[in-house]
Structure 1
Amino acid sequence: MKSIINYHVIDPTNIGDLFSAPTKYFSFPGYTVEQADIRTINVDEIRDKHIIVGGGGLLYSPFLDSFAKLIESKAHTKLIAWGIGQQAYGTSGKIQKLENFDYSQYLKNFDLVGIRDFNHKYNWVPCSSCMHPGFDKKREIKHEFVVFSHKKFQIKIGDFPHLTNNNQDIEEILDFLGSGETILTSSYHGAYWGTLLGRRVLSFPFSSKFSTLKHPTGIFPIQKWFQNKFKLSIFNRTLLEIHYKNKFSCKIDNWQHYLKDCKSYPESLSENRERNHWYYSQILDTLADT
Structure 2
Amino acid sequence: MGINDFLKSTFSHFGRSARKKEVISRILKSPIQNNDDVVNLHRYDPTNIGDYYCGVHHYFDNLKGKYLDIFDYKREDQEVRDNWFEKITQNSLIIGGGGLLNREGFDLQMKLFEQLGEKGKKTVLWGLGHNAKSPSTYGKITKYNVDTSKFGLVGVRDYGMKEEWVPCASCLHPIFDKQWTVENEIGIIFHKKTLGNEKVQKQFEAFPSTANNAVFEDVVRFIGQTDTIMTDSYHAMYWSLMLGKKVLVIPNSSKFYDFKYQPVISSFDNWQADIKKVQAYSGVLDDCRQTNLTFAQKAFDYLNV
TM-score by length of 2: 0.77
Question: Do the aligned partners of 1:87 and 1:208 also contact (CA within 8 Å) in 2?
Answer: yes
- Secondary structure of the equivalent of 2:66? strand
Matched, 1:49 2:91: yes
**Offset from partner CA, 1:29-50 (integer Å, 9 cap, x none):** xx78511011224445422311
Matched, 1:159 2:159: no
Partner of 2:239: 193
Matched, 1:270 2:286: yes
Counterpart of 1:258 in structure 2: which amino acid?
A: D
Give the whole-Å Cα distance in 1 for the aligned partners of 2:64 and 2:172: 21
Give the whole-Å Cα distance in 2 for the aligned partners of 1:61 and 1:260: 36
**Offset from partner CA, 1:185-238 (integer Å, 9 cap, x none):** 111111111111111011111111111111111110x4xxxxxxxxxxxxxxxx
* Runs of 5+ unmatched residues, structure 2: 1-34, 74-83
1:62 pairs with 101, 105, 127, which one?
105
Partner of 2:133: 89
Give the whole-Å Cα distance in 1 for the aligned partners of 2:113 and 2:127: 17
Distance 1:45 1:192, change over 3 A: closer
Which structure shows the bigger proportion of residues in strand conformation?
1
Give the whole-Å Cα distance in 2 for the aligned partners of 1:268 and 1:282: 22
- Secondary structure of the equivalent of 1:124? coil
Q: Runs in 1 of length 4+ with deviation above 4 angstroms?
A: none
1:209 pairs with 243, 246, 255, which one?
255
Counterpart of 1:140 in structure 2: which amino acid?
A: T
1:208-287 matched pairs, under 5 angstroms:
208-220=254-266, 222=267, 252-287=268-303
CA RMSD for the aligned pairs?
2.1
Question: Do the aligned partners of 1:43 and 1:69 also contact (CA within 8 Å) in 2?
Answer: no
Question: Identity percentage over the alignment?
Answer: 34
1:34 pairs with 53, 60, 66, which one?
66
1:139 pairs with 167, 180, 199, which one?
180
Q: Across the two proteins, how many residue pairs are aligned to each other?
A: 253
Distance 1:98 1:263, change over 3 A: closer
Shift of 1:173: 0.7
Give the whole-Å Cα distance in 2 for the aligned partners of 1:78 and 1:6: 12
**Offset from partner CA, 1:242-276 (integer Å, 9 cap, x none):** xxxxxxxxxx3342211233111121000000000
Counterpart of 2:70 in structure 1: which amino acid?
A: I
* Runs of 5+ unmatched residues, structure 1: 223-251
TM-score by length of 1: 0.81
Question: Do the aligned partners of 2:42 and 2:70 also contact (CA within 8 Å) in 1?
Answer: yes
Matched, 1:80 2:112: no
Question: Do the aligned partners of 1:43 and 1:73 also contact (CA within 8 Å) in 2?
Answer: no
Question: Do the aligned partners of 1:46 and 1:73 also contact (CA within 8 Å) in 2?
Answer: no
1:18 pairs with 28, 49, 52, which one?
52
